[in-house]
Structure 1
């Protein structure tokens, strides 16, 4: 068999095998947040909450009503709990043939990740942020 014909066959087979494989990825994110206000993120909270300056009205405009409120010694403690579920899936399949022989394969992967953010705001008796803390987690 001439050398050029062998090279042509090898390249054709290689291109055929590569051309018959398919990979797809799908990522989906679901935010589970109450309505009202904007999305609470670590960066937004850190940027907009200033101790000794930010008022309760400012916080409500930014984030909406708190998920929980506790009265302690005449002061209000507001708690915002948020979590996001991210799910991604990837699948790939392939099929190749060489005149009489053929084969196929299929692979699928699914992963889910949950991210949490808790913001705790401590207001003084006149409704100004006196202290706040944030905790980010995930599993």
Structure 2
């Protein structure tokens, strides 16, 4: 009987250890903010709150699909940021053009907004763990 209890306890500890390797709200927030940095939008927007609604482990233990709710907060107003990008002589003309186009897409999605405004978002997200932690995989080109 004691061996059965010990085996059950070991199984429970193994399960708990495996669960601790799943992405949590903070991990998802960092991955989403990293995505904003990669899109050069981190000076404009920041992910502040995250709630994982559902988590679906994939066959590979280093991959999860998550349904998440999160809040984007504007660090600056869209118009003022757009003006600063257009006037930024440190960026080359193509970079400025690409940023203006990206900001046009942001304007279509959220409208013209001011610093401090928030936007509640819902998304299905794939996360993959690598040597640096959990990341949103970039599409192969």
**Same-fold call, TM cutoff 0.5:** no
The structure where helix makes up a greater share of residues is 2
Bigger relative contact order (CA 8 A; separation at least 6): 1
When normalised by structure 2's length, the TM-score is 0.30
Larger radius of gyration: 1
When normalised by structure 1's length, the TM-score is 0.30
The structure where strand makes up a greater share of residues is 1
